[in-house]
Every structure is written in structure tokens, then in C-alpha cells.
């Protein structure tokens, strides 16, 4: 059986340029590239679009400079939710020319008034969905772990806020790093397989040294074969996108074994090998009671 479509999110090779990422991923046999906006030189979109087209890679999950309506610990500026909404909508329009699988959106962190902040998120992401609809794009909502301070941190919460937004072009991005230990997650992966736009994967040491200490598939302790088996059994046939943060000092911890110190092509090749090995070991989950 052929492997599912597999892409690498550019944060996995954080120090490299877009052109270096394209060359590395193509050489490794990757199918797509998850573009981060910070790697797109301003005023050079025509050149960047042509570079992606010439590579033969599909643009998959694109990440705006400001993907969330409320600030969080990673996407901090601007502080004003209205200004953030405007930047997110502008990024969605910019990404449309790359014809991606989708654009990532997040909630951000709640402030002093969680109820009002949630309303701001719903209104802001409704505007983002309207913009995406105008340019023919889907959005992927990703929940972030509770211990990272996110407003939305579980699959039920994600489905709930998508329902409140009420837009037909928003689906779920499942990220193994954030969801791996949620109760009943394997059965939920099978049950809600049709709700996922993309599955973001990585691996996790126990314990991680920080949030930016993620591993390549097979190098940690996550049950990726169990996740893959549940998704396969549930009928998910979409993209698997590798997203790894591996701090080289960028976020305050210069790990000597940071993946960012390796050549992008070596990281990409190891990523493909690890994903395929885990896929070959996938396990069909037992029926839930």
C-alpha cells in the first residue's frame, strides 16, 4: 500500500530559507511543504510562488505570522485583537496564491475576561473564515496544550468553537504533541477522522526539556502507530505534516542535540524514514465500549 501524503512544516528546519527547504524536502522524497510566513521575503511572492511550483511540492498547512486572535506566548504581537484579525485576513489572502491545503488558525490565550475573549476569538475567526471563503481556502483550527496557556486545548473544545464560528470551511488540525495524552484520544481519532484537515506529527521525549524539544517520528515515546491505525480505520486520507521545534537557543535553550544544527536534507530524510516506519507499524484500535 502506498504511503499517505507527507509534508514537512518549515519550522522543522527553522534556520533554513524557503529555497533551502524546498531543495532539502524534494531531495528527501517529501510530497509537500508547510509554509511559514516568516520565511516568505516581503515583496517577493511571485518568486516564492514560482520556486514552490518548480519544486513540485504541494503547499500544505501555511502558518501566518499572526494565526490567532488573542496573543499567546509564541505569537505575541500585536496585542490588539482587531489588529490581529486584520493581519490574519491579510495573510490568508497572501497564502491563497500558493494554493495550499489550508491555513492554520489558533485561538490564543485568554486574558482577564475569558468570556469576552472567547467572543472576540469567535468573531475574529468568523471574519478569517469569510476571507478564506472569498479566496477558496480552508482553515485548520489547532488546539494547544492546556499547560501552554491556550484558550482551546481539547478536541471537544475545538469542535465546540468551530460550531460556534459556524463556518463550513474550518476543519481540525490534530497535533500529536498537544493531544497525545488526552483521555480517549485514540477512539476520538477514529470517530472524528472526517473532521481533520491535517495531522501534524512529531515525537516526544519523557520528560521534554521544554515546549521546543520535539523529536522526529520514532525517536520518542509517542504511540504514533496507534494514532495512525485509528486514523486509517476512521477513513482519514489527508496529509500528515511533520512539525518539530528543536531549540538551538532561538527560544532560550541551546540544546547540543538540536535538530536545527543538522543539514536540512538530513533532517528531511530522517523524517521520511521515521514516518514510514511508524506507518508500517500502525495498529487498528480495539472497538470502544
pLDDT for position 287: 57
**What average pLDDT does range 97-120 have in this prediction?**
94
Pairing of strands 203-204, 214-215: antiparallel
Helix, strand, or coil (residue 92):
helix
Inter-residue contact 87 to 66 (CB < 8 Å): yes
The rounded distance, in Å, linking the Cα atoms of 13 and 11 is 5
End-to-end CA distance of the chain: 30
- Checking if the pLDDT of 222 tops 60, the result is yes
pLDDT for position 289: 43
pLDDT for position 1: 57
Q: Which of 73-77, 130-134, 215-219 has the lowest mean pLDDT?
A: 73-77
Inter-residue contact 9 to 241 (CB < 8 Å): yes
The full 3-state SS of 118-139, as one line of letters, equals HHHHHHHHHHHHHHHHHCCCCE
The rounded distance, in Å, linking the Cα atoms of 222 and 194 is 23
Packing angle, helices 114-134 and 155-165, rounded to 10:
60
Cell of 127: 471574519
Inter-residue contact 199 to 240 (CB < 8 Å): yes
The rounded distance, in Å, linking the Cα atoms of 180 and 158 is 15
The rounded distance, in Å, linking the Cα atoms of 206 and 276 is 23
Other CB atoms within 10 A of residue 66 CB? 22
pLDDT for position 202: 98
Question: pLDDT, tens digit, for every residue of 43-64?
Answer: 999 999 999 999 999 999 999 9
pLDDT for position 284: 77
Query: Does the N-terminal peptide bond of residue 207 adopt cis geometry, omega within 30 degrees of 0?
Result: yes
Per domain, the residue ranges of the chain are 6-280
Yes or no: is domain 6-280 CATH 3.20.20.150? Answer: yes
Q: What are the helix (H) ranges across 98-199?
A: 114-134, 155-165, 176-179, 185-191
pTM score of the predicted model: 0.95
pLDDT for position 184: 92
- Checking if the pLDDT of 148 tops 90, the result is no
Amino acid at each position: 500500500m502506498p504511503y499517505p501524503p507527507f509534508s514537512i512544516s518549515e519550522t522543522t528546519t527553522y534556520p533554513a530559507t524557503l529555497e533551502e527547504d524546498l531543495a532539502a524536502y524534494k531531495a528527501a522524497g517529501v510530497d509537500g511543504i508547510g509554509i511559514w510566513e516568516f520565511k516568505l521575503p516581503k515583496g517577493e511572492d511571485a518568486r516564492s510562488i514560482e520556486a514552490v511550483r518548480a519544486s513540485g511540492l504541494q503547499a500544505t498547512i501555511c502558518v501566518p505570522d499572526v494565526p490567532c486572535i488573542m496573543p499567546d506566548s509564541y505569537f505575541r504581537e500585536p496585542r490588539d485583537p482587531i489588529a490581529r484579525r486584520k493581519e490574519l485576513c491579510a495573510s490568508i489572502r497572501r497564502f491563497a496564491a500558493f494554493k495550499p491545503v489550508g491555513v492554520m488558525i489558533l485561538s490564543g490565550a485568554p486574558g482577564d475576561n475569558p468570556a469576552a475573549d472567547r467572543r472576540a476569538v469567535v468573531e475574529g475567526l468568523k471574519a478569517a473564515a469569510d476571507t478564506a471563503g472569498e479566496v477558496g481556502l480552508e482553515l485548520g483550527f489547532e488546539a494547544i496544550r492546556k499547560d501552554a496557556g491556550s484558550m482551546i486545548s481539547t478536541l471537544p473544545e475545538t469542535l465546540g468553537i468551530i460550531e460556534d464560528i459556524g463556518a463550513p470551511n474550518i476543519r481540525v488540525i490534530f497535533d500529536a504533541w498537544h493531544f497525545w495524552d488526552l483521555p480517549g484520544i485514540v477512539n476520538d481519532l477514529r470517530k472524528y477522522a472526517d473532521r481533520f484537515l491535517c495531522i501534524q506529527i512529531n515525537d516526544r521525549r519523557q520528560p521534554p526539556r521544554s515546549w521546543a524539544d520535539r523529536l522526529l517520528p520514532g525517536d520518542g515515546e509517542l504511540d504514533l502507530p496507534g494514532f495512525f491505525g485509528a486514523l486509517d480505520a476512521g477513513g482519514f486520507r489527508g496529509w500528515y505534516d511533520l512539525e518539530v521545534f528543536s531549540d538551538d537557543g532561538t527560544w532560550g535553550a541551546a540544546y547540543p542535540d538540536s535538530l536545527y544544527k543538522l543539514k536540512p536534507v538530513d533532517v528531511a530524510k530522517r523524517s521520511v524514514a521515521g514516518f514510514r516506519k511508524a506507518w508500517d507499524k500502525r495498529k487498528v484500535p480495539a472497538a470502544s465500549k
